[in-house]
Every structure is written in structure tokens, then in C-alpha cells.
Chains A and B, each alone.
Chain A
Amino acid sequence: AQKVTQAQTEISVVEKEDVTLDCVYETRDTTYYLFWYKQPPSGELVFLIRRNSFDEQNEISGRYSWNFQKSTSSFNFTITASQVVDSAVYFCALSEASIRGGGGADGLTFGKGTHLIIQP
């Protein structure tokens, strides 16, 4: 069975600092997908990134960057020059490709989330 661990329950930094959110996953599948979502107080999930298991390239999108390392089963997320608006709960999630999914992938297994607080 798959598992996602976000060991950091809460992180508090001062604005403009860089911050890294850790994500470690477990899966027996060779084909899987990893995700990061942001959940502001409104509750709606905001999609940030999807990465499949065959693509280990790191990605940068503005102030956001992701480091995918299969060797350590990690998919860490870094926010550079953090801003108050980045304050939210961030979830890492995993989905395996399976026959049950009709060849597509199953529902997501989420980590417990990291509550990020950016102080002005």
C-alpha cells in the first residue's frame, strides 16, 4: 500500500525567507504520480504540480521549485522569498497507476499536510 509522509506539521518563517517542505513516499509500483496541493483557509485545494515517476527532472515555477529524488523517495517543495500569501496548508499526494483505475490512476493518498505560516 502506498504512503505519504510529511514530517513537518507546522513551519513558521519570516517573510522573504526560503522554506522547504519535505515529502517522503512509499509505493511498490514503478508507475506513479506525485502531487503538491495548497489549501488556504477557504478549504479549496489549489493544484501546484504533478510529476510522474519517470520524470525526475526538477522543476521551477516562479518562486516555487520541486526536487524529485527517486533514490530517496522524496519530492520536496521549496518556496523562495516567501510571502504572507503563501501561508496555507500544503499537501503532498501520491497516486498509483492500477488496473482498478482502468489503466489510469487511482485516487490520491495524501500526506498529513504541513501548515506553513509566513510572518510579516
Chain B
Amino acid sequence: GAVVSQHPSRVICKSGTSVKIECRSLDFQATTMFWYRQFPKKSLMLMATSNEGSKATYEQGVEKDKFLINHASLTLSTLTVTSAHPEDSSFYICSARSRDGVVNEQFFGPGTRLTVL
């Protein structure tokens, strides 16, 4: 149990296009989902926290208009990188926190590798 999926696992796009990444909790309901970004050989940085049915909370320095987050249901959150540029190339990982169960038990997705040409 407690599986989180991400789609796509890998995406290559041209500069200027928008890319949507999905994060799904497959066997539990997630009231909160988190989005992280990881540059090559670097640490993971929290980008934003999304709660189902409400606006996402972005960390300082993360552009809201650039990284659109939608948490429309208890099992799905999406991250859209708008007008992507090469500097947006990164590994994006989501995690989901269960509505039930242990406080702050987070389950991570396998990540999405974005390459912007």
C-alpha cells in the first residue's frame, strides 16, 4: 500500500512550451501533497505545498505563475511548468501525505525528469 505515481517519468520539450506533471496517490487519500525540485547532484528543495480544494502555498523564491499547482481531488495533484526554459530542466518529485495514518508519513513518487531544449 501507500503508492504514489508520477506521470510522465521523463519528458523532453522545447523552450516556450508548457508541461504538466501528474502526481497520484494510488491506494490512499492524500489531503496534502508536496512538490520538490532537484537539480543534478543537488539536494531536494521544497517548492510548494498543496492541500486538496485550496490554493497551493509556495516556498519563498518559487514563482507561482511559472509553476502552477492544482490539487483538484484527494488523489491527484498536478504541476504545470509554464513557458518552460532550459533552466527549468530538473528532477521533480512529489510526495503525498495520507489523510489517515501516522502524522507526517509522506510517500514519495518516483520523480519526473524534465529536459527543456
Binding site for B on A (CB under 8 A): 33, 37, 42-45, 47, 50, 91, 95, 97, 100-113
Task: Report whether over half of chain A's contact residues are helix, strand or loop; otherwise say mixed.
Answer: loop
B-to-A contact residues, CB < 8 Å: 31-32, 34, 36, 38, 42-46, 49, 51, 57, 91, 93, 95, 97, 102-108, 110-111, 113
Once A and B bind, how many residue pairs between them come within 8 Å at the CB atom?
62
CB-based contact A43/B110 at 8 Å: yes
Per the bound structure, the CA–CA distance linking A102 and B102 in Å amounts to 14
Shortest A118–chain B CB gap in Å is: 18
* CB atoms of A112 and B42 under 8 A apart: yes
Choice from B95, B103, B113 contacting A97 with Cβ under 8 Å:
B103
B79 shortest CB reach to chain A, Å: 14
A6 shortest CB reach to chain B, Å = 9
Residues of B within 8 A of A37 (CB): 108
Knowing A33-B104, A108-B106, say if A101 contacts B32 (CB, 8 Å): yes
- Asked if residues A107 and B43 are in contact (CB atoms below 8 Å), the reply is no
CB-CB < 8 A to A42: which residues of B?
110
Identify the closest chain B residue to A93 (Cβ). Answer: B44
Report B-chain residues with C-beta under 8 Å of the C-beta of A44: 108, 110-111
**Residues of A close to B34: CB separation below 8 A:** 107-108
Contact A91 B91 (CB under 8 A): no
A109 / chain B contacts, CB cutoff of 8 Å: 46
Contact A102 B46 (CB under 8 A): no
Contacts of B110 in A (CB 8 A): 42-44
Q: Which of A105, A107, A111 contacts B103 (CB 8 A)?
A: A105
Q: Kindly report which residue of chain B lies nearest to residue A43, judged by CB atoms.
A: B111
Residue of A nearest to B46 (CB): A107
A45 to B95 CA separation, bound complex (whole angstroms): 10
Q: What chain A residues lie within 8 Å of B42 (beta carbons)?
A: 112-113
